[in-house]
């Protein structure tokens, strides 16, 4: 005869990642680093925007970047070509950065003296939302060519973030993207999120809020600085 035993418990599946994220966060806090997690679908303009942001912030803050990509070091190379301190994490088959990848890099590499650390996540609107890294601030980019319904279709990531950056606004005349509709989804889902309409570089757009975004990031940067 065999016995059947019911073991009742609450075993969180991602608790190891959450704990490591806390560990990373403590590490950042000790060093006075503000960590920003930049997430978006592939190609929404993360690398381009981070390069522009660092140009605007570098007089005030020492910046560094961790690049998460499944394959290759192309984005890290773009950063280095722009004279930015950048480190690559190759995630292999994983479609997102996780806390252990960041922890490993933090133990190998000193970020001493860094004020602002940008974590560029793997291009994906699904998986990165599940894996905390230890960041202080979450930023999601949505390029206007992706469609204004994306906050509605990917609610988890847009609900969790602190800011949404609508990128490539110079393309608005060419695509059916309603800023109002996107903002209305965001207001339902995440009324506290700051929303910025942005273009990278000198592309034409009359309501470019790049400077407001820089000011917002500086504000966050200062609040976690030692």
Partner 1 sequence: MHEAKIASLILQKASKQIEPYAKALRVQNIELAVGKFRNVDIESLRFAFNALRSDFSLLSEAVLDITEVDAHAYCAANLHEYLIDCKNNFACPFCGSGVGRVSSGQELEIRKIKLETEE
Ligand X SMILES: Nc1nc2c(ncn2[C@@H]2O[C@H](COP(=O)(O)OP(=O)(O)OP(=O)(O)O)[C@@H](O)[C@H]2O)c(=O)[nH]1
The yes or no reply on residue 104 touching partner 1 (CB under 8 A) is no
CB 102 within 8 A of CB 96: no
Return the range that interacts with ligand X (CB under 6 A); candidates 9-17, 84-92, 94-102, 199-207: 199-207
Residue 39 in the binding site for partner 1 (CB under 8 A): no
Stretch that binds ligand X, among 36-44, 81-89, 94-102, 109-117 (CB under 6 A): 36-44
Q: 54 is in the binding site of which of Mg ion, ligand X, partner 1, none (Cβ under 5 to 8 A by kind)?
A: none
Q: Which of 62, 127, 171, 194 binds partner 1 (CB under 8 A)?
A: 127
Nearer to partner 1, 94 or 105 (CB): 94
d(CA 118, CA 33): 10
Binding-site string for Mg ion from residue 27 to residue 56, where x marks contact by CB under 5 A and - marks none = -------------------xx---------
* Residue 97 DSSP SS3: coil
Neighbours of 212 (CB within 10 A): 13
Distance CA 111, CA 107 (A): 10
Contacts to ligand X from residues 62-91, by CB under 6 A: 75
134, interface contact from ligand X, partner 1, Mg ion, none, CB < 5-8 Å by kind: none
Nearest Cα neighbor of 208 from 182, 171, 183, 162 is 171
Q: Binders of partner 1 among 67-86, rule CB under 8 A? A: none
150 binds Mg ion (CB under 5 A): no
Q: CA–CA separation, 176 vs 157, rounded Å?
A: 23
- For every residue of 40-82, DSSP letters joined together read ESTTSSHHHHHHHHHHHHTTTS-EEEEEEESS-SHHHHHHHHT
- Tracing tokens 């609900």 back to the chain, one arrives at 159
Measured from the CB atom, the residue of 28 and 154 that comes closer to partner 1 is 154
In the complex, the residues that contact ligand X under the rule CB under 6 A are: 40, 42-48, 75, 123, 167-168, 170-171, 199-200, 203
């Amino acid at each position: 005869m065999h016995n059947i035993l019911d073991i009742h418990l609450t075993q969180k599946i991602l608790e190891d990642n959450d704990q490591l994220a806390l560990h990373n966060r403590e590490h950042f806090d000790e060093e006075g680093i503000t960590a920003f997690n930049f997430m978006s679908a592939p190609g929404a303009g993360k690398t381009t925007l981070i390069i522009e942001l660092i140009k605007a912030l570098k007089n005030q803050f020492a910046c560094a970047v961790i690049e998460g990509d499944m394959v290759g070091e192309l984005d890290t190379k773009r950063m280095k070509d722009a004279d930015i301190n950048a480190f690559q994490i190759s995630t292999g088959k994983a479609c997102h950065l996780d806390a252990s990848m960041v922890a490993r890099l933090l133990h190998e590499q000193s970020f001493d003296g860094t004020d602002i650390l940008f974590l560029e996540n793997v291009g994906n609107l699904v998986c990165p939302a599940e894996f905390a890294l230890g960041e202080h601030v979450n930023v999601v980019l949505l390029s206007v060519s992706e469609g204004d319904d994306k906050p509605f279709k990917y609610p988890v990531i847009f609900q969790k973030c602190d800011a949404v950056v609508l990128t490539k606004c110079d393309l608005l005349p060419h695509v059916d993207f309603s800023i109002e509709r996107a903002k209305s989804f965001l207001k339902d889902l995440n009324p506290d999120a700051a929303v910025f309409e942005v273009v990278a570089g000198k592309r034409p757009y009359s309501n470019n809020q790049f400077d407001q975004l820089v000011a917002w990031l500086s504000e966050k940067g200062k609040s976690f600085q030692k």
